[in-house]
Structure 1
Amino acid sequence: MDTALVIGGTRFIGRHLVAELLAHDYDVTTFNRGTHDNPFADDDRVARVEGDRTERRALLDAKRTVDPDAVFDCVAYKPRDVESATDIFGDVDAYVYVSSGAAYAAEEVPKREGETRLESCSAEEATDDSSATYGARKAAGDRIVFEAAARGVPAMAVRPPVVYGPHDYTERLAYWVERVAERDEIVVPGDGTNLWQRVYVEDVARGLRLVAEDGEPGEAYNVGDRNAVTLDGMLDLIADALDTSVERSYTSPRELSIVDLGPGEFPLYRDAPHVLDTTKIAELGYESTPPAEAMQRTVDAHREHGRTGDDNGPDRETEDRLLDVLDTV
C-alpha cells in the first residue's frame, strides 16, 4: 500500500495516525471540514481534501481525488456513516473503521472479539448524538463492516478502550494529572482498584496501520495497553512522571454522597472492570508502549499545553468540602 486517506486527521487519533503513516512512507491525504486547526498545514507531505464526511458526494469527490489504497475512518459516529463509506470505498485495498471498546455489551474479563456480546442499536439510537448511545452506534458500525466484508469489501474494525496521550482534547486523564501536580491530597473514588484499560494514542495509530496492512476483512481487532493498570496504578505513573507524590483519600459512595457526588462523576472510573484481550492484534506484530514511557510523554504534553481537565470531574471546592468533612470523622 502506498496511498492513504485519513477521514479526520487533525485532532487526536487521526493526527497521530497521519504521523504513523508518514513514518512508514505513505502518501497521506486528510479529509475533513476544516473546523479545527490543521497541524499539517505547513507539511507538504500531507495533502488535504475539504468536505463533510456525512455527505455522500463529498466522500465520492475525496475518493476520486485521492484514489487511496487504504482508508482510515476516524470520525464515523453513526451507522449510516460506515454504511456509506463501505459502499464508496468498496474497491480499496483496506477500509479500517475506528470503533470502540464501548461496543461491547457483556461485562466479561477480558472482552474478546467474536465472543463477547456487542451492544444492540435501535433505529432511534442509530441517529442519536448523545454519549449514552455511543457504544451502541459503534457496535452497529462494526456489524456494517462485517456485512460489507461478506460481500467482498476489505473492511475491518479496530476497537480501542479509553485513549490517552498528547493532544487528547477530552482531557479525561489531564484531570488527574492536574490534581496530582497541584494538590497535596486528592479524592479517589472507591479503593483505587477499579480497572478500566486504556491505550496510548501512538499505539492506536500503529494498530490501525497494522490492521490495514495485514488484517483480515470482516474482523475486529482490540487494541490496548498490554499492561492494564488500576486507577491507583495510573496515579502512581502520573506521580512518577511528575517526580512527586500525593496523599489519596479513598472514598465510598456513601462518603461521596455527603457532597452530592457519585464515583462515576470522576473521570476514568468504572464500576466493572473493562479489559480487552489484545492477543489477536499482537499476532499482526502489535506491541504497546510501556506504561511509564507513555505516561511520561502524556504528562509532559498536558503540562506544556496547560490542559487541566477542569470540566471533567468534581471541582476543587467540592473536593475540599469533602476532605474537610472526612478529616473531622
Structure 2
Amino acid sequence: MMVVAGAILSIISFFSLLMIIVGSYGTNTADVPGFLLVVVAPPFTLVAGIGMLRRRRWAWLCLVAGLGCFLLVSLFEFTRPPEPAVRTHVSPSGVKTTEYHSGPQFSVPTIVLCAGLLIYVWMPGVRREFGWSRRKQPSPASATRPGSQPPKLPDKARGWRVGHAGRDRMYYEEWREDGWRRINLSGEMLTGPAHHVIYFPSPQAWRELPEWARDRRDEILARIKSEFREPEYEYALDVNTTAGGTDRPVLAATNPARPSRCTARQMGAVILCVGIFLVLAGYLGWLVKGGWEAKQVTLPSAKATQRRAVPRETEPALYWFSLGLYAAAAAGSLGFAAWMTVQGWKTCRSQSSPP
C-alpha cells in the first residue's frame, strides 16, 4: 500500500516541485511544512515502502518516525486553543487589516488509521521480521537430556515435531529413547503469498543422514509437509544441498512449531485493521454520495484554507477529479478490508484443519 500510494503521489510531488521552481501562481505562500508534505513525503513514502518489502531496519524506523511525528502534530493541532475566525486590527501605518484564520488542520479517520498502524508495526511479531526483537533462548537447564520424560501432548502422542531455527532455516525432530534427534533443513524467507520455501535434500544427500532417518525420506517429508502446508510454504525437491542431522540428543526447540489454531492476538490484529479500513471506506463513500447528490464536492487538500466547494457546472474537470479520487480511495480501502478478511480466514482455516 505504501509503494502504490507513494508512486501515485510522487507524480503530484514532481509537478508541484516544478511549479515551485518556476514560481507558478499560488506557490508564493508555500511554507516549509507544506513543502515537506507535498514534495518530500510521497517519494519518501515510496522508498520506505520498498524498504519495508525487503525487511530493512531503516524502513521500519522511517515508518515509525513518520507515524509518530504525524500523531504528535495532530495532537498539537487538536489541543491548540481556537483562534477567532476573523480578526481586524490597525497596522502602525494606519491601515485597517482583516485576518482570516482557518480551524485546526487534522482528520480524525487519518489519526485513527495511523495510530492503528503504529500499534501494528510495534508488535513483537512485526519487529522480529526486521531483526529488532529476538526470541529468548532457552537455558541449558531446559535442554532435553538422555533419560528425560517424553514431551507432553501433542508431541508425545506422535513423537515428532517441526519448527523454525532462525529466519531461513527449519528443522525436523523425532523423539527416540534417550531424547530428540534433529534434521536441519535449509530454506529462505519470501515476500509473496508463500512466506518461506523449504529446500528438501536429494535422495543422494539424504543418505548422509544418521541411520534412524536414512531410509525414511518419504515418511519424514510427508510429516514436514503436513505441518508446513501450502500456500504458506513452498517446496523445492531434490535440491543439491547438504542434509544436516544428529544422532545425539539436542536441546529443546528454540522456536516451537506453529500453533494449531489462530491466537486471540492474531484475530484481534486482523479485526482491528479490517475495521479501520471499513470505517475509512464508509467515510469516503459518504463523501462521494454527498458530492454526487449536491453536484459539488470539497476539494481534497492538505490545507484547510484550500478546501473549497467545487461545483460541477462551473468546474467539471476538477469536480470529477476530486470525486474520482474519493471514490478510488474508498474502493481501495474496501478492497484492502476484503483482502485481509479472506487471507485471515484462509490462514485460520489452514491452521485449524487437521494434518
TM-score range relative to shorter protein: under 0.3
Q: Which has the higher helix share?
A: 2
Bigger Rg, which one: 2
| TM-score (ref. length: structure 2) | 0.24
Give the number of the structure with larger relative contact order, counting CA–CA contacts within 8 Å between residues 6 or more apart. Answer: 1
